[in-house]
Chain A
Amino acid sequence: MKVAELTTSEIRSHLQSDFGLNLRLGTFTVRLHSNLPDLPRLLGHLYAEYPLTPETDYADFHIRINWEGIVRRFFRPQVQFWIDEETPFSPFPADTALPFLEWGLNWCVAMRAHQYLMLHSAVLEKNNKALLLPAWPGSGKSTLCAALCHRGWRLLSDEFALVRPISFALVPFPRLIPLKNESIAIIRAFAPEAIMGPEYPKTRKGTVCHVRPPVDSIERAEQTVQARWIIFPKFQTGAETGLQPLAKTRAFLKLADNSFNYEQIGLRGFETVAGLIDSCDCYLFQYSDLEQAMAQLNALADGLI
């Protein structure tokens, strides 16, 4: 069953019930509770294609987003993020509930999913080979990722490369893609068919707007894939688009530096990064024009480079 099969009213009922709304997000199940009035409509729109799991199924994360006190419901309304009945963050403005839900869920995964090597990286697949785009904020990773997944690449994740140790398989976690500031208009123009949520101004990262992954990416969220390319993207206004081969030792250091848990998982982290590097061609990638970037990455995937 998908979220789209529920009415907004039914989503609200689930969110307010003891069992919550059990969303299957790739490899994880999230049990979500909330009494916020706008969240059911937003979830119905942006999570429409995501599967629901039975109430009795195991959930990896139990999340609750609720009003913070009676007074705060009327005066500068704030809401609180709960994970397993704990509140790791300060309350946040109620009109940014969706960005905070997304961000909070990222935090939960980064803190707990140590069965994987977790890289701060987008992952896309074409011809059964995965492309990793590891990068820290401001590099144009999400823009590139949103563009690629609307031009025939399957999205495994915008934010997390989840890598299984030993097999080095990349595990899909196709979440909403958060675009920031100028990227929002760029993707609206580049992929008018993209399904996007409301714009949230005044977040810590400026204006944020979420893009729903294409249906195919959500439906194939059980299919792991092996990495073939590791490309460190960098958006640079006016720069000529180009791939520059990167030595494996340098790529190793950059990839480890992009990991959420490389040091925590010890030897497994080293071996997993080494395995990824061994199986991939590594590049630095500078771009300023999305069409040129698409052409170059498609040529790489099609074996033309």
Chain B
Amino acid sequence: MCFYQSPSFLYRWRFNRECRVLWRCSDDECIVYNASSSQTHYLNELGAEALRQLEHRSFNVRELIEHFSTQYEVFSSDAEALRYVRKLLSDLDDLGLIEPYSE
């Protein structure tokens, strides 16, 4: 199966509505406190941008790559970017900050 057609690639992701998060950002890095789990997370620039976007609307992997590509000049839509974004979403999912859903 082509990577782009795998089920995980087609997932849509949204902010976990069970979460209430507080942000503290400095320069390009952010600390996110999840009041629902009492856990604190460090997010780099892309992680913070992804979570911020997901707070407002849902994304699939392709849409998030496109967003990063328009937001950051150095971000290109190649296989490495795909791996990075999939890992990023997986990490945010593991932290309970986002969730997959189907429309």
Q: Give the interface of A toward B (CB within 8 A).
A: 247-250, 252-253, 256, 262-263, 266-267, 270-271, 274, 277
Q: Kindly list chain A residues whose C-beta atoms are within 8 Å of the C-beta of B81.
A: none
Which of B25, B30, B33 makes the CB contact (< 8 A) with A270?
B33
A253/B42 in contact, CB under 8 A? yes
B30 CB to nearest A CB, Å: 7
Q: Kindly list chain A residues whose C-beta atoms are within 8 Å of the C-beta of B29.
A: 247, 249-250
A175 CB to nearest B CB, Å: 29
Instruction: Give the complex CA separation of A253 and B33 in angstroms.
Output: 11
B35/A253 in contact, CB under 8 A? no
Q: Kindly list chain A residues whose C-beta atoms are within 8 Å of the C-beta of B39.
A: 263
Q: Contacts A249-B30, A249-B31, A253-B31 given: A263-B38 contact, CB under 8 Å? A: yes
Q: Kindly list chain B residues whose C-beta atoms are within 8 Å of the C-beta of A256.
A: 40
B38/A252 in contact, CB under 8 A? no
B66 CB to nearest A CB, Å: 27
Q: Contacts A270-B22, A274-B24 given: A249-B33 contact, CB under 8 Å? A: no
Q: Contacts A249-B42, A253-B42, A256-B40 given: A266-B26 contact, CB under 8 Å? A: no
Instruction: Give the complex CA separation of A118 and B26 in angstroms.
Output: 24
Instruction: Give the complex CA separation of A274 and B27 in angstroms.
Output: 15
Instruction: Give the complex CA separation of A263 and B40 in angstroms.
Output: 9
Q: Kindly list chain B residues whose C-beta atoms are within 8 Å of the C-beta of A277.
A: 24
Closest A residue by C-beta to B24: A274
Instruction: Give the complex CA separation of A97 and B39 in angstroms.
Output: 39
Q: Kindly list chain A residues whose C-beta atoms are within 8 Å of the C-beta of B33.
A: 267, 270
A259 CB to nearest B CB, Å: 11
Q: Kindly list chain A residues whose C-beta atoms are within 8 Å of the C-beta of B31.
A: 249, 252-253, 274
B23 CB to nearest A CB, Å: 10
Q: Give the interface of B toward A (CB within 8 A).
A: 22, 24-27, 29-31, 33, 35, 38-40, 42
Instruction: Give the complex CA separation of A271 and B31 in angstroms.
Output: 12
Closest A residue by C-beta to B29: A249
Q: Kindly list chain A residues whose C-beta atoms are within 8 Å of the C-beta of B35.
A: 266-267
- Can you show 29 pairs from A to B with CB atoms below 8 A apart? A247-B26, A247-B27, A247-B29, A248-B24, A248-B26, A248-B27, A249-B24, A249-B26, A249-B27, A249-B29, A249-B30, A249-B42, A252-B31, A253-B31, A253-B40, A256-B40, A263-B38, A263-B39, A266-B35, A266-B38, A267-B33, A267-B35, A267-B38, A270-B22, A270-B33, A270-B40, A271-B22, A274-B24, A277-B24
Closest B residue by C-beta to A265: B38
Q: Kindly list chain B residues whose C-beta atoms are within 8 Å of the C-beta of A248.
A: 24, 26-27
Instruction: Give the complex CA separation of A274 and B35 in angstroms.
Output: 14
Closest A residue by C-beta to B44: A249
Instruction: Give the complex CA separation of A250 and B27 in angstroms.
Output: 11
Q: Kindly list chain A residues whose C-beta atoms are within 8 Å of the C-beta of B26.
A: 247-249
Closest A residue by C-beta to B27: A247
Closest B residue by C-beta to A274: B24
Closest B residue by C-beta to A250: B29
A268 CB to nearest B CB, Å: 10
Q: Kindly list chain B residues whose C-beta atoms are within 8 Å of the C-beta of A270.
A: 22, 33, 40
The residue in A263, A266, A270, A277 that gathers the most chain B C-beta atoms within 10 A of its C-beta is A270
Instruction: Give the complex CA separation of A252 and B27 in angstroms.
Output: 13
Closest B residue by C-beta to A278: B24
Instruction: Give the complex CA separation of A249 and B26 in angstroms.
Output: 6
A258 CB to nearest B CB, Å: 13
Instruction: Give the complex CA separation of A263 and B24 in angstroms.
Output: 17
